[in-house]
Amino acid sequence: MTAENPTGPLGGHLDDDDFPAYTMGRAAEMLGTTQGFLRAIGEARLITPLRSAGGHRRYSRYQLRVAARARELVDQGTPIEAACRIVILEDQLEEAQRINAEYRRAAESASSPASD
């Protein structure tokens, strides 16, 4: 087995943040929360777990990070619906800032004089 051609149960997904590798039970355990909490943030449309062939919810590492942030807010007393909305807005802001930085870099490189 090599890094270029991985084999095994996860194939080449070991470094994939979006690969749904965790069952609901394992995800809840890792977050120190209940399966009901994961269902609730799913119903609030914060995260949408993939379903296995048997219909079981599966979560990615990215989704677990999002769920962990929501849990922090809920633990601080924020209602779950509000916590989900805050996390969504934080994610949108981060994406907008990333795009703005890309535009700024592109504009700076376009306006800088070419070296001879």
Q: In a 3-state reduction of DSSP, which class is residue 47?
A: coil
Residue 25 contacts residue 35 (beta carbons within 8 Å): yes
Closest CA to 80 of 31, 38, 30, 41: 41
* CA-based torsion, 44, 75, 36, 32: positive or negative: positive
pLDDT at 87: 97
Closest CA to 22 of 47, 73, 56: 56
Percentage with pLDDT > 70 across the chain: 84
- Give the residue with greater pLDDT, 52 vs 9: 52
pLDDT at 2: 41
